[in-house]
Structure 1
Amino acid sequence: MSKDQDDDHIRPVTMAQETTPASAPTMGEVVQLIDFDPIRPGQIIIELRAYWESLRKGRAIPERSDVEPRGIRNALDYAFILERIAPGAARFRLAGKHLIDLMGMEVRGMPFCSLLDPSSRGRLSDVLESVFKAPQVAEIRLDSPGGYGRPPLTARMLILPLRSDLGDVTRALGCIISEGEIGRTPRRFDIVSDEVVPVIPGALALDPSPSAAGFNEQPSPWRAPPLAAPAPVPVGAAQTPEARRARFRIVHETPERPKD
């Protein structure tokens, strides 16, 4: 996008006409371009998915080094790059302006789960691990309930797996697009629904495994290992003073009670 186009995108436009219909802006009225071109989450998700598909070039998963900002200029403000740091856990490597606006802070280096309420983080962990491990493409619908200074907010998220420079699937390209007024930040979301599809059409989709599986099992009680008996010393073998002392044992004798 050229500099002139960038400026037009963020600068209000004054529209003046000699003949103004009732529904059109009046003389000298400042009109935001966003009023005429509202955000379309579905279109941004389609464009980002199509860009990811174009990077594959016959491969199952594209590489992180293949991703260029100019290739996703329409989705750049909503995009992010994730790095897997543990099973079911990732952090933001890069994030667009929209995500920073939602959180009210720079999110680079922050855990990916910080975007969600605690009640939804377990499910997010399951979905995220299926993206990296299967690997699969995930689309998630989110909701942020209204509150004081926070109007109700809905959002859609897309997560696409990427290979790192080492060849393992530990990176992901994604985007999040919210609809509604952000209000007070940070805004955190609950998962409304999620869907995963295999990266190869027709392959079997693997459902995200529950993160709580096996967590309710009680651990076995700890028991000290049995003491090893000292090795017998052959009769007539030479013994050092330390070896002889090791065979000594202390015997406690109970004194006899005096007779009446």
Structure 2
Amino acid sequence: MRQQATRELYSYWNGLRRQRAAPDRAEIDPSAIRSVLSDTFMIEADRDGLFPLRLSGARINALWARDLKGRSFLDLWGADRANVAAVLLTVMDGACPIVAGAQSALPGRPPIDLELLLLPLRHHGRTHARVLGSLAAARRPEWVGLLPIERLELRSLRILSSARPSDHLPLMPRPAGALDRRKRAQPSLRLIEGGLS
């Protein structure tokens, strides 16, 4: 994770979930993440598989020069649309956080490198319900907010460790003498010298 917004949002989410796979939507306190709200969004899992944006931060809206609330998250992507849908399902079904690299540009302008973070959220006890995320630019060109960027392209993808203390079960202690009995019960090879007959 290279961008400050990505690190802060992940740290906040990870602290909320504690021993669980994902925190609940109701636990998210916007004031606790006020410094990254402009780079933050929330996606809903809908029946049509369009993944509408429930919330979209000001910096994200500025990239497209309009409010994205209610639009399909998949509409922001070009040829990678199907891959992004599969990634969202992986985040929700596997309750695994993902960080990705994306890129977009206007013709005749240098590309914008973006870091995408996708975090699973439960909603009313359902695990396949919401995704909390951030989309943070490595640098903000002067024209952002005046001209909309084109479709995003996926450049890289990494599943973040979702290990929680409950994922690591302690080893059961072995009864005293169990190792000695196992050693004695193992067959052994004994060489007997003799001819080839």
TM-score (norm 1): 0.57
Cα deviation code 1:194-241 (max 9, x no counterpart): 1123533597xxxxxxxxxxxxxxxxxxxxxxxxxxxxxxxxxxxxxx
**Which aligned pairs between 1:92-107 and structure 2 lie closer than 5 A?**
92-107=53-68
- RMSD, matched Cα: 2.2
**Which aligned pairs between 1:163-178 and structure 2 lie closer than 5 A?**
163-178=122-137
Q: Match for 2:42 among 73, 81, 87?
A: 81
Task: Output the amino acid matched with 1:176.
Answer: L
Mapped pair 1:136 → 2:96? yes
Task: Measure the CA separation in 2 of the matches of 1:199 and 1:111.
Answer: 27
Match of 2:189 in 1: none
Kept in 2: contact 1:135–1:198 (CA 8 A): no
Task: Measure the CA separation in 2 of the matches of 1:43 and 1:112.
Answer: 22
Task: Output the amino acid matched with 1:134.
Answer: G
Give unmatched runs, 5+ long, in structure 1. Answer: 1-39, 204-260
Query: How far apart are residue 146 of structure 1 and its match?
Result: 4.3
Task: Output the amino acid matched with 2:52.
Answer: R
Kept in 2: contact 1:81–1:173 (CA 8 A): yes
Task: Measure the CA separation in 2 of the matches of 1:186 and 1:101.
Answer: 9
Q: Determine which structure has the larger helix proportion and give its number.
A: 2
Match of 1:252 in 2: none
Mapped pair 1:65 → 2:38? no
Query: How far apart are residue 132 of structure 1 and its match?
Result: 0.7
Cα deviation code 1:62-120 (max 9, x no counterpart): 00000011111111110011101147541100110011101111111100012212x11
Query: How far apart are residue 163 of structure 1 and its match?
Result: 0.2
Task: Output the amino acid matched with 1:128.
Answer: L
Runs of 4+ in 1 over 3 A off after TM superposition: 86-89
Cα deviation code 1:125-180 (max 9, x no counterpart): 111110011121111101114414x4421100101000011433311110001124
Q: Helix, strand or coil: the match of 1:170?
A: strand
Report sequence identity in percent. 27
The verdict on how the C-alpha distance between 1:109 and 1:128 changes in structure 2, with shifts beyond 3 A counting, is: same
Q: Match for 2:114 among 129, 133, 155?
A: 155
Q: Match for 2:10 among 37, 49, 58?
A: 49
Kept in 2: contact 1:154–1:180 (CA 8 A): no
Q: Helix, strand or coil: the match of 1:85?
A: coil
User: Of the two, which has the highest radius of gyration?
Assistant: 1
Kept in 2: contact 1:162–1:172 (CA 8 A): yes
Aligned residues: 162
The verdict on how the C-alpha distance between 1:177 and 1:155 changes in structure 2, with shifts beyond 3 A counting, is: same
TM-score (norm 2): 0.74
Task: Measure the CA separation in 1 of the matches of 2:68 and 2:106.
Answer: 23
**Which aligned pairs between 1:220-239 and structure 2 lie closer than 5 A?**
none
Cα deviation code 1:20-70 (max 9, x no counterpart): xxxxxxxxxxxxxxxxxxxx9522211111100111132221000000111
Mapped pair 1:121 → 2:81? yes
